[in-house]
Amino acid sequence: MELRHLRYFVVLAEQRHFGRAAEILHMAQPPLSQQIKAMEEELQVSLFDRSVRPIELTPAGKTLLREARQILQQMSRAQAMTKRVGRGQEGNLVIGVTGTAAAEFLPPILEAFYERWPDVTLSLREMSSPAQLLALEKGEIHLGFVRPPILDDTLGIRLVHQEPFQVALPDNHPLAGSAGIRLADLNGAALVIFDRDEAPGFRDLIMHLCQSAGFFPGRVQEAHQMVTMLALVAARIGVALVPRSARHLTPERVVLRPILDDTPLIELYAAWPRDRNSVLIEELLAVIDEARITQAVDLDPTPV
C-alpha cells in the first residue's frame, strides 16, 4: 500500500461519494474504484458500506481513517520541517482571534501545534472580526479566526468550529433557574448586544434570531467586547445571546442557559491571504482538521 492509496482513501472517506472524490483527486471514477477495491483485497476487509447512499465507513474503515490521517499528517510535517530547516527560516506566526475563540477553541489547537513546532514563535492578538480582516489586508497578522460574513475573495477561508447560542441572564432573573429558555419568554427585556462596528454579522444574526422567535427587546444596550457584554448582564442591565464558549468568560452573578428554540450554530472561520500562504499556516490548519476528525470519531458510538 502506497501513500497515494491512503490519500485516495481519505478523500473518499471525507466525501462519501466516488464521483466527488474522483473529481477532487483529478482522476476518473473507475480507476479510483479499482484502487479502493485493491486496498480492500490487500487488507482482506471491506472499508466502505456501498449498500447505502451516501456510502459509509465500516468499523474497519473508521480505524484506517484515523491511522491514514496520522500517517499523511506525519509525512506532511516531515516535508515541511525539512524544507524549513533547509531554508534556515525562523518560524513566526501572528494570529488574530476573538475573545470566545481564545477561551475555548484555540488552546488545545495551539498546544498540539506547539508540540510539533516548538521553535515557532506564536503571537496572539485578541481583535474583533472586522479588525482582523483589516489586519489581514495590511499584513499585520498571518491568520485570523473570525465570525462571518467574510466578503474578501482574496482570503482563503475554512470553517473550523461551530457552537450553539445560549442566553446569558442575571442570576436573579425569574428564568435563571430554568433548564432551558424560549426566546419569546424574554419578550420586552433589555438586550445587550455587540455594536455594529465591532461585529456587524454577529449582531444582525442575533437580531434576526430574536425577532424570528418572538423576542422584541424593550431596550438595546450596545457593548464592544464579549467581556463587556457579560459585565452588563452581571450589572442587571439586560440579557444577552452569546456563544456557549462564553462560559469561560462568565463573571459572578451571570448564568448561561440553553435556548429551546431551533437556532443556527455560530460559525468560526480561519482566514488568511491566499497570496501569503505559508508552511506554518498549512500546518496549523492541518492540526485543526485532525482535531475535528478526532472529535467526530470520538463522538461516534459505533465500535471500531
The reported pLDDT for the residue numbered 60 is 93
Beta-bridge partner residues of 145: 97, 270
3-class SS of residue 284? helix
Confidence (pLDDT) at 304: 34
* 5 Cβ contact list (under 8 Å, min separation 6): 35, 38, 39
Residues 249 and 274: their CA atoms lie apart, in Å, by 33
Cα angle, residue 18 at apex, residues 281 and 29 outer, rounded to 5°: 105
Per-residue pLDDT of the chain (304 residues; tens, 9 = 90+): 788 889 999 999 999 899 999 999 999 999 999 999 999 999 999 999 999 889 999 999 999 999 998 898 888 877 776 666 555 345 788 999 988 888 888 999 999 998 888 878 899 999 989 999 999 999 999 999 999 888 888 999 999 999 999 999 999 999 999 999 999 999 999 999 988 888 888 889 999 999 999 999 999 999 988 899 999 999 999 999 999 999 999 999 999 999 999 999 999 999 999 988 788 888 899 999 888 765 544 434 443 3
* Degrees, nearest 5: CA angle 272-275-280: 55
C-alpha triplet 222, 123, 295: angle, nearest 5°: 80
273: nearest Cα among 102, 120, 154? 154
Residue pointed to by grid coordinates 496572539: 124
C-alpha closest to that of 268 among 116, 47, 124, 104? 104
Instruction: At 8, give phi and psi (nearest 5°).
Output: -55, -45
The torsion angles phi and psi of 31, rounded to 5 degrees, stand at: -60, -35
Query: For residues 263 and 242, what is the distance between their CA atoms, to the nearest angstrom?
Result: 12
18 contacts: CB under 8 Å, gap ≥ 6: 12, 29, 32, 33, 55
Compute the C-alpha angle 182/187/190, nearest 5°. 115
Of the candidates 150, 113, 120, 118, the one whose C-alpha atom is nearest the C-alpha of residue 133 is 150
Task: Please tell me the predicted confidence (pLDDT) of residue 293.
Answer: 64
Q: Are 141 and 95 in contact, with CB atoms under 8 Å apart?
A: yes
- Contact (CB, 8 A) for 72 and 3: yes
- pLDDT at res. 298: 40
Compute the distance between CA of residue 160 and CA of residue 165 in angstroms, rounded to an integer.
17
